[in-house]
Amino acid sequence: MKSLKFGLIGTGFMGKAHAIALRSVGTAFPSVPSPVLACLVDSNAERASSLAKSWGFAQSSTDWQGLCTDPDIDVVDICTPNHLHKEMALAAIGAGKHVYCEKPLALTTKDAAEIAQAARAAGVRTSMGFNYMCNPLIELAKQAIESGEIGEIFSFCGNYQEDYLSDPATPFSWRCLRAQGGHGALADLGTHLINMAEYLLGPIASVMGSMTTVHRQRPDPASGEMRNVENEDIAQALVRFACGCTGTMDISRIATGKKCGLTFEIFGSKGSLSFDQERMNELRVYKTSDDEKLRGYRTILAGPQHPDYAAFCPAPGHGLGINDLKVIEVKNLLKSIENDEAIFSDFDNGYRVQMITDAIYDSSNESRWVNTEAAAN
Amino acid sequence: MKSLKFGLIGTGFMGKAHAIALRSVGTAFPSVPSPVLACLVDSNAERASSLAKSWGFAQSSTDWQGLCTDPDIDVVDICTPNHLHKEMALAAIGAGKHVYCEKPLALTTKDAAEIAQAARAAGVRTSMGFNYMCNPLIELAKQAIESGEIGEIFSFCGNYQEDYLSDPATPFSWRCLRAQGGHGALADLGTHLINMAEYLLGPIASVMGSMTTVHRQRPDPASGEMRNVENEDIAQALVRFACGCTGTMDISRIATGKKCGLTFEIFGSKGSLSFDQERMNELRVYKTSDDEKLRGYRTILAGPQHPDYAAFCPAPGHGLGINDLKVIEVKNLLKSIENDEAIFSDFDNGYRVQMITDAIYDSSNESRWVNTEAAAN
Amino acid sequence: MKSLKFGLIGTGFMGKAHAIALRSVGTAFPSVPSPVLACLVDSNAERASSLAKSWGFAQSSTDWQGLCTDPDIDVVDICTPNHLHKEMALAAIGAGKHVYCEKPLALTTKDAAEIAQAARAAGVRTSMGFNYMCNPLIELAKQAIESGEIGEIFSFCGNYQEDYLSDPATPFSWRCLRAQGGHGALADLGTHLINMAEYLLGPIASVMGSMTTVHRQRPDPASGEMRNVENEDIAQALVRFACGCTGTMDISRIATGKKCGLTFEIFGSKGSLSFDQERMNELRVYKTSDDEKLRGYRTILAGPQHPDYAAFCPAPGHGLGINDLKVIEVKNLLKSIENDEAIFSDFDNGYRVQMITDAIYDSSNESRWVNTEAAAN
Amino acid sequence: MKSLKFGLIGTGFMGKAHAIALRSVGTAFPSVPSPVLACLVDSNAERASSLAKSWGFAQSSTDWQGLCTDPDIDVVDICTPNHLHKEMALAAIGAGKHVYCEKPLALTTKDAAEIAQAARAAGVRTSMGFNYMCNPLIELAKQAIESGEIGEIFSFCGNYQEDYLSDPATPFSWRCLRAQGGHGALADLGTHLINMAEYLLGPIASVMGSMTTVHRQRPDPASGEMRNVENEDIAQALVRFACGCTGTMDISRIATGKKCGLTFEIFGSKGSLSFDQERMNELRVYKTSDDEKLRGYRTILAGPQHPDYAAFCPAPGHGLGINDLKVIEVKNLLKSIENDEAIFSDFDNGYRVQMITDAIYDSSNESRWVNTEAAAN
């Protein structure tokens, strides 16, 4: 297997990020199969054609169904609005394609379960766009937890706070509609946090959520009239992990001042970990085994001694960026296909994330703790 | 009114902090009535006598009841273990003394209500030992909220994390006994956080708590045998304020690496605030009115332009310490007595804090949201 | 002009960084001419061929002279050890090629002058590999200075500290030889700092340097014997800018703990700026015009409101990386060629940097202030 | 020796800080001799009398000469403007008093030498007001250096930056007059930095200075007319320590945004140290012996495991303040008198600091390196 032909659907924020990653991955990781930028799909033919040229795709199209069944395509890459994921993913899986999909996998747990099951049945490889967990320092955090370096885990405080809808004058978009975006802050931001939490600490067993829509109406850019916002600005939750660790989560799209505030603190019996995506090249680690006088949080700068960093730069502390995380994500997918082995985060993880967001939603509506396994059915 | 005679009961951590503050307040704040260090009380006569000399008290005693009724005493200052507060406070109030009491006010809401009501009925002035909120930068934060500078408040994330019981080998103490310490992390740490939250944002209306005891036994220093810990290591909560703001709280005495992690983030429509007691001379403020290109969190260093700072130092950024906050707390009490006006935090605030910790406890036990007013009865 | 054919010489740290940038620039900046990865040159034919495939070059070669005169090549990109820059640059210029060269431009001021003059005479476009100044936040800093936002500039404190040779056991390399590396820390690190300083504040007029070689011998990896280090580990300097601003510089390759410590603080009459490459997505800005109570350093996160950032990501605070700076550097070169206009940093800037490093060297040797213009002749 | 009677001359910033410290030291450090606040001296009788009452002095006076010869006084504490230090110190020493003096010791090296020699000859104990070095974390830094924990020391970057004269409209004061203030930024700020450097790394052997007066005139508050500033706003220097370490210093009273920017970085073969007085409760330490994957600067919070901290608070991370450093300074003096042993920083240290500031001044004037021992004669 020397190369894999990618068809990319969608040309927004994530479409471009995927295109950059697909083009760069071979230079950074020469030993994985090369992605071939075969076809770019957008509902607007002119936009598809123009961006295909800019981004280096061999062809463009407006026909995503055609792409999914095109025998020349190995991987279908879905970067469209949330409500389109299901139909596209099922079509691609149905045609035996490997599928790469932005989060969230679907709008409901039921849909997510259906997609994940279809992928398993078809034996195709899948990947979700949970780029933040591809950070070398997150891998380091996972190693520190798994090796027992910070001991038994007591508690977790995780937030994902941004402010892109903090201003009530920011116009209405599909993200505010339940039928197109599904959940609000939970879908956009919470999915990343929940997946990160499960990656690091294992399954979340139960949740107690509280969701709030602060800006209940926003101006519709088309009509200029005020339109009802259908999903939450803020989702807060208490969580309990299967491992016994307990936690809090604050997920907000109106956290004024926060630009990419995906943060966590993990406290264990022998140490602790602290991370903030706004300083994505730093992991803070505390170890009780350090001599007491000189004990304190260590600020570890990402470097070639950490997983995947050396592919980008041989010198430590020089700084990776968000697009580099996407390159690692693509590399992981390429290796998954090459080795025919599942990875974290595949569609099964995407399903779990959807199930937990739905559990938080149900819990908030019903003012009670919800067991996540129960929520899945 | 030129001076006020203080009788201090208790010679532990807080006893010493109060003694330092009583001695220093006159130099920092020459215009308030001078406290006279009249009598130091400890159950051990030798310790009382020796420390009275060191700390500058005119007399010492082992008889706290006698102190409470001594006509020469104006203010009774209670720095004893939690379960002794009630009897001492009621005795002092009964004798018409002003009372200064360390947190928590009592072990139960009912007891706290009784004490607060007795103080109101007697017309005496009271103060709780919530020193952290005496920070000039907390006063600045309050001004920023009240003036509308950061707009309508959306959400609150507040934590108080320390690690003094993180190690399971740390011996059992009265703090681990429900009958002597009352709650665990909630009483020691949560009380500060809850009072701070109400000071800044007004009443907490309802709570949803989750409490965990991780280290269920600790070695008894006397017997060397393992003894059951009766209260929580971790208390986590979702909270809703009467003003509409929602929040999360993580309160832990086993947060490895945290030494005085009293932190909050407050998000509003026009800006936000961020504070960490471990960097107590900094308040971070974000303002949406700043020019977009140069907008970012401002790190404000405490200085003489902020309330009370100039009493300690005319130069900005030189750094106040925890004992200076105690001096401000004492100054506030002295002014409260001089002007016969209630202050935040008096026993009514102490009562509310107790009520809310009990509501978190009930909520955790019953897995349901608890309204704080209901909990009070 | 639709595309430009690049021939890249050198396959080390910088060779790979250039390759990644050349491949990515079209996706990030679709409107500039596309670079074509035409030929990769390395003295080892096998390495050249293998990496050419991995990195996406159409051809490979061991013949850099042939590349320089190849009519199919538009731009010669030099990523070889320092002492080879001169011959290669002159050959490429002689053949009328545009030239992109890693720093330092040459080993001596005389050589650098010769190269810069040749490029001017030939009318070709040139660019130096000073990637750090391509950071959107450095452009923001420059705008803040030029617009007068921080007023008249008083002083500059700039450092570039790394620790790659901190350990005396780190083997000898060509970087330690005067004939191959030229200066030591000054050439590797100081060049970046000096160029950054001149970009932000204009010409440096005079310098007073002090250079130190701490580890005077290192083990030769070939022979295993100790070999004399011929250039400095640390270069410190006082500097005076033509604008009147004065400054200090600390440049070290043995600053234990520093990984990419390119930092500066610039103090002006109306504000100040502070930057640290290890937190390359943050610029700290202080403005005296802020209300006194809420005045403090603002931590500005890079976002699409800043130059070039939006080419990589539409969302603020998501984080660019070092390789993204290289992409901007390539974009600047491509635009320079397209518009036939000089850019900062071209070979004239490369010449000035070399002149100033030599002035620091002379100054250190002669224990006197050296005027940089005098040093140039 | 149970108590020592203090006479304090001067009631400005430092006078008040000393008064607070004298009153608090007994509570924090009960085992050292108690200072008795015997007499407060100010040239204004009313001010002296009023502040004596506020601050707790038994008496007040306008006669500093009388104080110096008063047989009831044990220690003369000098907090007056710089040019008065010499006469007062010599008078006190002449009367056999111990002397506590704010920095700088004198206006010239010659005067400082005379005072230090007189104190030695008289056998009295002395202390300078270099409070910043009394920080528990500075003591920890010194221990880390002396124990070899960070290895052989390579380099030092030390700054002391404030902005109290950054605004050209700030009025003229005695600090701007050579005859009253002596040096400018060097006297106010540089003295602290130089003393700290020598405390940590031993003698400074030679210096190369560059001094600048940016705001050459300031409005006289009396006349309203512009008046010439006679000393420097900025002093920058290269320094070489006797131990072989080299360094840079930036000392500025016009560093806009800096409030107490006394910072240093010390790089050694096995680690490094970093400190910033604006975060005075943190010391950053890097150790090459840490496992490579988890190596990074440790942020150490001051706590009871560090020298002197426990005297103020038994709990770590709760934060000391600038006035607590003054208490430690007073404690050190009291112990010095009790044990009849010299301390760092006594008048010999004050002399060295004066000598080095004068060497920087001469060096700047003469554009040459100046050996500090030579400068002393």
Q: Note the pLDDT of residue A374.
A: 55
Amino acid letter, residue B86: K
Please say if the pLDDT value at position D279 is more than 80.
yes
Task: Identify the contact set of chain C against chain A, taking CB-CB distances under 8 A.
Answer: 13, 16-17, 19-20, 23-24, 26-28, 30, 51, 53-56, 162, 164, 258-261, 277-281, 301, 303, 312-324
Sequence-separated contacts (24+) of D211-216 with Cβ below 8 Å: D211/D186, D211/D235, D211/D236, D211/D360, D211/D361, D211/D364, D212/C155, D212/C246, D212/D236, D213/D184, D214/C154, D214/D254, D215/D165, D215/D168, D215/D254
Please say if the pLDDT value at position C231 is more than 90.
yes
Categorize the per-residue pLDDT at A368 as very low, low, confident or very high, splitting at 50, 70 and 90.
very high
Asked whether the bond before D171 is cis by omega within 30 degrees of 0, the reply is: no
Listed by start position, the domains of chain B span 5-130, 132-321+329-371
Q: Which residue of D has its CA nearest to A281?
A: D296
Q: Return d(Cα B221, Cα B228) in angstroms, integer.
A: 13
Contacts of A290 (CB under 8 A, 6+ apart): A296, D298
Contacts of B171 (CB under 8 A, 6+ apart): B218, B219, B220, B221
Q: How many residues does chain B have?
A: 377
The secondary structure of A33-100, three-state, reads: CEEEEEEEECCCHHHHHHHHHHHCCCEEECCHHHHHHCCCCCEEEECCCHHHHHHHHHHHHHCCCEEE
pLDDT mean over B129-153? 98
Residue contacts between B and C (CB atoms, under 8 Å) = 51
Around B1, how many Cα atoms within 13 Å sit in the side-chain half-sphere? 15
Q: Note the pLDDT of residue D103.
A: 95
Q: Return d(Cα D285, Cα D267) in angstroms, integer.
A: 10
Amino acid letter, residue A15: G
Cβ atoms of B370 and A208 closer than 8 Å: no
pLDDT mean over B335-339? 98
CA distance B209 to chain A (A): 8
Please say if the pLDDT value at position C374 is more than 80.
no
Q: Which of A319-348 are b and which e, b meaning 16 or more Cβ less than 10 Å from the residue's Cβ?
A: bbbbbbbbbbbbbbbbbbbeeeebbbbbbb
CATH label, C132-321+329-371, candidates 3.10.450.50, 1.10.10.10, 3.30.70.3280, 3.30.360.10: 3.30.360.10
Q: Which residue of B has its CA nearest to A271?
A: B256
Cβ atoms of C329 and C131 closer than 8 Å: yes
Residue B138, sorted as left (phi over 0), alpha (psi -120 to 50) or beta, turns out to be: alpha
Bridge partners for A41 per DSSP: A9, A61
Q: Return d(Cα B204, Cα B191) in angstroms, integer.
A: 13
Q: Please name the residue that has the structure tokens 């930092």.
A: C263
Query: What φ, ψ does residue D268 adopt, rounded to 5°?
Result: -125, 180
**Cross-chain residue pair A290–D298, CB shorter than 8 Å:** yes
pLDDT mean over C298-316? 97
Please say if the pLDDT value at position B15 is more than 80.
yes
Q: Please name the residue that has the structure tokens 């960070």.
A: D150
Measure CB to CB from residue C157 to each of D154, D250, D254 and give the nearest one. D250
pLDDT mean over B329-339? 98
**Cross-chain residue pair A269–B246, CB shorter than 8 Å:** no
pLDDT mean over A4-23? 94
Model confidence over D140-157: pLDDT tens digits?
Answer: 999 999 999 999 999 999
**Cross-chain residue pair D260–B17, CB shorter than 8 Å:** no
Asked whether the bond before B104 is cis by omega within 30 degrees of 0, the reply is: yes
Angle at CA B162, nearest 5°, toward B157 and B163?
140
Measure CB to CB from residue C267 to each of D151, D237, D252 and give the nearest one. D252
Q: Note the pLDDT of residue C2.
A: 82
Q: Pairing between strand B98-101 and B126-128?
A: parallel
**Cross-chain residue pair B268–A255, CB shorter than 8 Å:** no
Residue A31, token pair as written in the block: 């030993």
Please say if the pLDDT value at position A121 is more than 90.
yes
Bridge partners for C273 per DSSP: C266, C285
Q: Return d(Cα C338, Cα C126) in angstroms, integer.
A: 12
* ipTM over cut 0.90: yes
Categorize the per-residue pLDDT at C194 as very low, low, confident or very high, splitting at 50, 70 and 90.
very high
**Hey, what's the torsion of the CAs at D316, D318, D322, D328, to 10 degrees?**
-40
DSSP summary character for residue D30: T
Closest CA to D181 of D137, D225, D230, D145: D230
Q: Return d(Cα B171, Cα B169) in angstroms, integer.
A: 6
Q: Which chains touch D (3 or more CB pairs under 8 A)?
A: A, B, C
Model confidence over B298-315: pLDDT tens digits?
Answer: 999 999 999 999 999 999
Cβ atoms of C249 and C151 closer than 8 Å: no
Alpha helices, H only, D204-317: none
**What separation, in Å, do the N-terminal and C-terminal C-alpha atoms of chain A show?**
39
CA distance C362 to chain A (A): 30
Please say if the pLDDT value at position B224 is more than 70.
yes
Residue D134, token pair as written in the block: 């009394």
Residue B191, token pair as written in the block: 């009380």
Residue A297, token pair as written in the block: 């949080």
Name the E strands within chain B: 3-9, 34-41, 59-61, 75-78, 98-101, 126-128, 153-161, 204-212, 217-219, 226-228, 234-241, 246-252, 261-268, 271-276, 282-287, 297-301, 370-371
**Cross-chain residue pair B300–C296, CB shorter than 8 Å:** yes
Task: Identify the contact set of chain B against chain D, taking CB-CB distances under 8 A.
Answer: 13, 16-17, 19-20, 23-24, 26-28, 30, 51, 53-56, 162, 164, 258-261, 277-281, 301, 303, 312-324
**Cross-chain residue pair C249–D252, CB shorter than 8 Å:** no
Model confidence over D14-53: pLDDT tens digits?
Answer: 999 999 999 889 889 989 999 999 999 999 999 999 999 9
Chain B residues touching residue C299 (CB < 8 angstroms): 296-299
Q: Return d(Cα C162, Cα C253) in angstroms, integer.
A: 5
Amino acid letter, residue C125: R
Categorize the per-residue pLDDT at B374 as very low, low, confident or very high, splitting at 50, 70 and 90.
low
Closest CA to C111 of C85, C73, C77, C140: C85
Query: What φ, ψ does residue A251 adopt, rounded to 5°?
Result: -125, 120
Model confidence over A306-335: pLDDT tens digits?
Answer: 999 999 999 999 999 999 999 999 999 999
Measure CB to CB from residue A294 to each of D285, D293, D295 and give the nearest one. D285
**Cross-chain residue pair C285–B299, CB shorter than 8 Å:** no
Measure CB to CB from residue A26 to each of C54, C258, C301 and give the nearest one. C54
Model confidence over C57-80: pLDDT tens digits?
Answer: 999 999 999 999 999 999 999 999
Q: Note the pLDDT of residue D376.
A: 47
CA distance D370 to chain B (A): 33
pTM of the model: 0.97
Please say if the pLDDT value at position A376 is more than 50.
no
Closest CA to D117 of D285, D363, D350: D350
What single string gives the DSSP state of each residue in D351-377? HHHHHHHHHHHHHHHHTS-EEHHHHT-
Q: Return d(Cα C49, Cα C37) in angstroms, integer.
A: 13
Q: Note the pLDDT of residue B2.
A: 82
pLDDT mean over A205-230? 96
**Cross-chain residue pair A295–D296, CB shorter than 8 Å:** no
Cβ atoms of B299 and B279 closer than 8 Å: no
- The sheet with strand B34-41 has its strands ordered as B59-61, B34-41, B3-9, B75-78, B98-101, B126-128
Cβ atoms of A62 and A44 closer than 8 Å: yes
Q: Return d(Cα C92, Cα D205) in angstroms, integer.
A: 50
Chain C residues touching residue B285 (CB < 8 angstroms): 294, 296
Q: Which chains touch C (3 or more CB pairs under 8 A)?
A: A, B, D
Closest CA to B42 of B59, B56, B25: B59
CA distance B19 to chain D (A): 7
Categorize the per-residue pLDDT at A377 as very low, low, confident or very high, splitting at 50, 70 and 90.
very low
Instruction: Assess if CATH 3.40.50.720 describes domain C5-130.
Output: yes
Q: Return d(Cα A127, Cα D281) in angstroms, integer.
A: 46
DSSP summary character for residue C282: E
Q: Which residue of B has its CA nearest to C282?
A: B296
Closest CA to C102 of C34, C17, C29: C17
CA distance C309 to chain D (A): 27
Measure CB to CB from residue C272 to each of D234, D257, D369 and give the nearest one. D257
| Residue of A250, A254, A369 to mutate, testing the B interface (most B Cβ within 10 Å of its Cβ) | A250
Is the model more confident about D295 or about A224?
D295
Chain A residues touching residue C20 (CB < 8 angstroms): 24, 27-28, 312
Q: Return d(Cα A375, Cα A237) in angstroms, integer.
A: 15
Chain B residues touching residue D261 (CB < 8 angstroms): 317
Residue D169, token pair as written in the block: 């409209």
Cβ atoms of A152 and A245 closer than 8 Å: no
Model confidence over D185-216: pLDDT tens digits?
Answer: 999 999 999 999 999 999 999 999 999 999 99
Please say if the pLDDT value at position C203 is more than 60.
yes
Chain A residues touching residue D290 (CB < 8 angstroms): 298
The whole-chain average pLDDT of chain D stands at 96
Model confidence over D99-123: pLDDT tens digits?
Answer: 999 999 999 999 999 999 999 999 9
Please say if the pLDDT value at position B19 is more than 50.
yes
Angle at CA A345, nearest 5°, toward A282 and A354?
105
Q: Return d(Cα B268, Cα B266) in angstroms, integer.
A: 7
Output the CA–CA distances (angstroms, integers) from residue D197 to C251, D203, D245, D259, in the order listed: 20, 8, 11, 20
Categorize the per-residue pLDDT at B377 as very low, low, confident or very high, splitting at 50, 70 and 90.
very low
Residue D56, sorted as left (phi over 0), alpha (psi -120 to 50) or beta, turns out to be: left
